Amino acid sequence: MFSKRDKLFFLSLLPLSISLLAVLVVSVTTIALRSLDALQHFGLALFASSIWNPEREVYGLLAPVIGSLTTSAIALLTALILSIPLAITIAEYLQGALKSVVSSIVELMGGMPTIVYAVWASQYLVPFLKQFAMEPLHSALPFIPLFSCKPVTGFSVFAAGVAIGISIVPYVTTLILEAYQSIPVMYREACYGIGATRYESIKILLSLARPAIIAALVLGFARALGETTIAVTTVGNSMYLSSCLFAPGYTVSALIASQFANAYLYQYAETVLYSSILVVVLIAIALSFYGSTTIVRWRLRVVV
């Protein structure tokens, strides 16, 4: 299956992959060890309340954990809505120079430091969303718990979710584009060979790529979980747990960014923060593993 040169190539990469894996294992172990104190002292009660009062050594991580999951879910939805049309536009409708310009822009956006998104989001996106999404949704559907509160500042779980979602669009788009463009030509020909229009072919080919697209979104979700700068500038940083998306909240990453510097002053603050990282990191690793293996398995089944 592999030639001798391929094997040599893989072998030469082995030390690198092993050291990357080692870094991961060491980091996770460190995080786990550091969170041990908190987990032993507070137990699972740590994740059952939402109080942050280091002076009295009272901690609860429910709000940030829920906040992380909710913002990431909104980010996923945002990326879903924007990335699939963007990838299809690039793959199917743009040609020549325009196609390379747009792909380059997407790549560029992906490489942009997230602080750029954070500034843009807190200055422009949040007020915009407040006026054109949150307020209308609240007026129209106030009986739905998610929309039940009037947005006050606009800085909220919802705003953070959309902002993070926009920041992962380039990443998710690139993954979807790669999958879509790796579909062998013979399946496109098969579509045309049964009289499918362009639109019908796109539908068939998208369904062919569905496992890879879902995996791309899962990877996007994992990345959104870890997003820090954008979260801390848009989520509103409130430990108050609300069922309403338009209320300020917290995410684990935002909590760490804003509390880590002073945590050493208190007995348990630091180890509690580590245990919140542990939860998010474990979820992110599991999702990334699932996402990447799904893409590989899909490629093996469909592409070769």
Partner 1 sequence: MFAVEMNNVSVYIGDRQILKEVTLRTPYNTVFVIMGPSGSGKTTLLRVINRLIDLVEGARVEGFVKVLNFDALHSDPYELRKYIGMVFQVPNPFPHLTIYENVAVAAKINGVAKSKRELDEVVKWALEKAMLWDEVKDRLYDHPHKLSGGQRQRLCLARALAMKPRLLLLDEPTANIDPVNARKLEEAIVSLKDEVTVVMVTHSPHQAARVADYVAVLYDGRVVEQGPAQQLFLRPSTEIAQKLLRGEI
Q: Which residues bind partner 1 (CB under 8 A)?
A: 185-190, 192-198, 200, 204, 207-208, 210, 301-302
CB of 92 to partner 1, least distance (A): 13
Question: How far from 73 is each of 164, 201, 250, CA to CA, in Å?
Answer: 10, 29, 14
Let me know the angle formed at the C-alpha of 17 by 12 and 20, rounded to the nearest 5 degrees.
140
Query: In terms of CB distance, is 30 or 197 closer to partner 1?
Result: 197
Which residue is associated with the tokens 């049964």? 194
Question: Both ends of the chain: CA-CA distance in Å?
Answer: 12
Write the DSSP string, 213-239: HHHHHHHHHHHHHH--HHHHHHS----
Rounded to the nearest whole angstrom, what is the least distance from the CB of residue 190 to partner 1 in the complex? 5
In angstroms, give the least distance from the CB of 201 to partner 1. 9
Closer to partner 1 by Cβ: residue 202 or 278: 202
215 residue type, one letter: A
CA gap 27, 47 in Å, rounded: 22
Minimal CA–CA distance to 160: which of 273, 249, 259? Answer: 249
Tell me how crowded residue 69 is: count the other CB atoms within 10 A of its CB: 18
Closest C-alpha to 297, from 161, 207, 157, 179: 179
- Closer of 61 and 208 to partner 1 (Cβ): 208
Helix/strand number for the chain, H first, E second: 13, 2
CB 224 → partner 1: shortest distance, Å? 27
95: three-class secondary structure by DSSP: coil
The minimum distance between CB 194 and partner 1, in angstroms, equals 4
Q: CB nearer to partner 1: give 11 or 186.
A: 186
Give the nearer residue to partner 1 in terms of CB position, either 34 or 299. Answer: 299
194-203, Cβ contacts within 8 angstroms, sequence gap of 24 or more: 198/92, 202/88, 202/92
Q: Which is nearer to partner 1, 159 or 208 (CB)?
A: 208
Beta carbon of residue 193, minimum distance to partner 1 (angstroms, whole number): 4
Taking alpha carbons only, the member of 279, 280, 225, 268 closest to residue 51 is 268
Minimum distance between the CB of residue 289 and partner 1, rounded to whole angstroms?
Answer: 23
Comparing CB distances to partner 1, the nearer of 44 and 185 is 185
Comparing CB distances to partner 1, the nearer of 212 and 279 is: 212
Q: How far is the CB of 293 from partner 1 (least distance, A)?
A: 18
Could you tell me the CA-to-CA distances from 277 to 54, 250, 282 in Å, in that order? Answer: 17, 13, 8
Question: Which 8-state DSSP code applies to residue 283?
Answer: H
For residues 136 and 129, give the distance between their C-alpha atoms in angstroms, rounded to a whole number: 10
